[in-house]
């Protein structure tokens, strides 16, 4: 690890934090993005490689990051799409039998800027009070302050266009029980593993794929993946999903859940600081069972006034809708990540519910 250089992080409201530069140090100016915080205690590599963080700078609330290194198996996508990473203490010497490298080298390899030595407790408290907001960090304080002032948020942006694939690909065994087409809004590899374990052969298609092209593949079901940013900013997504409803069973998670909600008339909400972590309590309304869930989103949907839907899950921290199903079509969605990675396994049953829905309508 090279000797760090002094750096500064500045929020759009002018609040500043001192630290040291780690990872990739850009030559073309400071790192900029919407700054959010994640409360997970482990799984930093999976978090960094979750495409849902496109457009954002990730602050880790757990103080010691990088202690068990990185490896190829824990990557959730082809590369990190986040704009940067903020930590209290970046481990200089990782120790784990699975490690094939250290986090600082990983950040430099993938050109992800980082800043360490930041008072992440103060930063998190500020974001909780004032909300996730744009900001910038780097080694040139004057340039950082100018970039923070000019930085914009994620509202209205089609960040999915940055992360989705260009050409379809397949995952799983072709003679599996179920044939599923998955929209890649920013899909994670662990989702494909869980769909495969549930007996699904998956064709992953770009986010812009028309509904007619999907139906022409004659799938047993359609999966709407997680992804970054504003669901209303994803060009044509809600209209495409609306055309699929009633034609084939649909299961959406995270951004896919939000797009499904917009397709049936729900209202988009922007949360103050979002849900980013691996310990969010969610109540399953039908059973009263509380699931501890992994989440990563800044937006949500409000079903008020929407007919033909039933809320199935609710967040016990803030009352946000965490799941719903359609009453007149085989479709449902959840706001959280049933595949976790990182996180608890409480919600894995939802993949079986999806295959059960396909069996019931097949």
The whole-angstrom separation of Cα 267 and Cα 305 is: 9
- The last residue of a domain, from among 93, 120, 150: 150
Same-domain status, 342 and 281: yes
* Closest to 103 in 3D by CA, of 36, 44, 19: 44
Q: Which domain holds residue 37?
A: 5-150
| Residue 31: its H or E element | strand 31-38
Q: Give domain status of residue 87, yes or no.
A: yes
**Residue 306 maps to which CATH number?**
3.40.50.880
Q: Which two tokens stand for residue 184?
A: 């890649």
- Are residues 184 and 64 part of one domain? no
SS3 211: helix
How many angstroms separate the Cα of 209 from the Cα of each of 160, 164, 203, 220, 346?
A: 13, 11, 12, 17, 32
Answer yes or no: 20 catalytic. no
Same domain, 215 and 356: yes
CATH of the domain at 124: 3.50.30.20
In a domain, 242, yes or no: yes
Is residue 127 included in any domain, yes or no? yes
Shared domain for 222 and 340, answered yes or no, is yes
Q: Is residue 155 part of a domain?
A: no
Same domain for 219 and 110: no
37 to 33, 132, 216: CA distances (angstroms): 13, 8, 41
User: Does one domain contain both 98 and 190?
Assistant: no
Question: Quick check: is 337 in a domain?
Answer: yes
Let me know whether 106 and 78 are in one domain. yes
Q: What total of structural domains would you count in the chain? A: 2
This model's pTM is above 0.85: yes
Same structural domain, 61 and 203: no
CA distance readout (Å), 217 to 160, 181, 187, 208, 294:
23, 8, 20, 15, 32
Q: What residues of the chain score a pLDDT lower than 50?
A: 1
Question: Which structure tokens are listed for 193?
Answer: 């593993």
Dig out the tokens for 294 from the structure: 């992994």
Whether residues 139 and 267 share a domain: the answer is: no
Task: Tell me, yes or no, if 239 is annotated catalytic.
Answer: no
Looking at the domain assignment, is residue 318 inside a domain? yes
Catalytic pick among 82, 200, 254, 321: 254
For residue range 288-325, what is the model confidence (pLDDT) as tens digits? 999 999 999 999 999 999 999 999 999 999 999 999 99
The pLDDT assigned to 179 comes to: 98
Q: Are residues 286 and 355 in the same domain?
A: yes
The verdict on residue 313 lying in a domain is yes
E strand segments, 150-288: 169-171, 178-184, 200-206, 221-224, 250-253, 267-284
Residue 328 located in a structural domain: yes
Instruction: Please tell me the predicted confidence (pLDDT) of residue 322.
Output: 98
Distance from C-alpha of 136 to C-alpha of 67, rounded to nearest angstrom: 26
Q: Are residues 145 and 239 in the same domain?
A: no
Under DSSP, is residue 81 helix (H, G, I), strand (E, B) or coil?
coil
Query: Looking at residue 3, what is its pLDDT?
Result: 67
Last residue of a domain, one of 100, 118, 150: 150
Please provide the DSSP assignment of 23-72 as one string.
E---SSS-EEEEEEEE--SS-HHHHHT-GGGTTEEEEESSSEESTT-B-G
Per DSSP, the chain holds a count of helices (H) and strands (E) of 10, 19
pLDDT of 27 reads: 83
Give the separation between CA 287 and CA 306, rounded to whole angstroms.
23
Domain boundary among 150, 183, 203: 150
Bond into 342 cis (ω within 30): yes
DSSP helix/strand/coil, 194: helix
174 CB neighbour count, 10 Å cutoff: 7
Q: Are residues 244 and 117 in the same domain?
A: no
24 is catalytic: no
Q: What is the structure's pLDDT at 53?
A: 98
């Amino acid at each position: 690890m090279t000797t760090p250089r002094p750096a500064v992080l500045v929020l759009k409201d002018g609040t500043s934090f001192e630290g040291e530069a780690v990872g990739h140090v850009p030559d073309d100016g400071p790192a900029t993005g919407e700054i959010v915080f994640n409360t997970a205690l482990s799984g930093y590599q999976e978090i960094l490689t979750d495409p849902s963080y496109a457009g954002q700078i990730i602050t880790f609330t757990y103080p010691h990051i990088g202690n068990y290194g990185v490896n190829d198996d824990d990557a959730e996508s082809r590369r990190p799409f986040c704009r940067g990473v903020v930590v209290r203490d970046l481990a200089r010497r990782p120790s784990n039998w699975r490690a094939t490298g250290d986090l600082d080298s990983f950040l430099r390899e993938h050109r992800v800027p980082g800043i360490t030595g930041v008072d992440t407790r103060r930063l998190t408290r500020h974001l909780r009070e004032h909300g996730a907001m744009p900001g910038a960090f780097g080694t040139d304080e004057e340039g950082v302050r100018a970039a923070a002032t000019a930085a914009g948020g994620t509202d209205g942006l089609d960040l999915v266009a940055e992360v989705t694939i260009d050409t379809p690909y397949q995952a799983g065994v072709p003679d599996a029980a179920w044939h599923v087409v998955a929209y890649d809004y920013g899909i994670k590899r662990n989702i494909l593993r869980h769909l495969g374990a549930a007996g699904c052969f998956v064709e992953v298609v770009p986010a812009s794929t028309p509904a007619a092209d999907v139906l022409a593949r004659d799938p047993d079901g359609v999966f709407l993946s997680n992804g970054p940013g504003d669901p209303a900013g994803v060009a044509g997504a809600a209209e495409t999903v609306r055309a699929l409803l009633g034609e084939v069973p649909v299961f959406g998670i995270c951004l896919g859940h939000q797009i499904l909600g917009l397709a049936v008339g729900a209202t988009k909400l922007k949360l103050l600081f979002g849900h980013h972590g691996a310990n969010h309590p969610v109540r399953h309304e039908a059973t009263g069972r509380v699931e501890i869930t992994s989440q990563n989103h800044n937006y949500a949907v409000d079903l008020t006034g929407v007919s033909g839907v039933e809320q199935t899950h609710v967040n016990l921290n803030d009352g946000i809708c965490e799941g719903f199903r359609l009453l007149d079509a085989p479709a449902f969605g959840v706001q959280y990540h049933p595949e976790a990675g990182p996180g608890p396994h409480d919600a894995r049953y939802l993949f079986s519910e999806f295959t059960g829905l396909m069996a019931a309508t097949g």
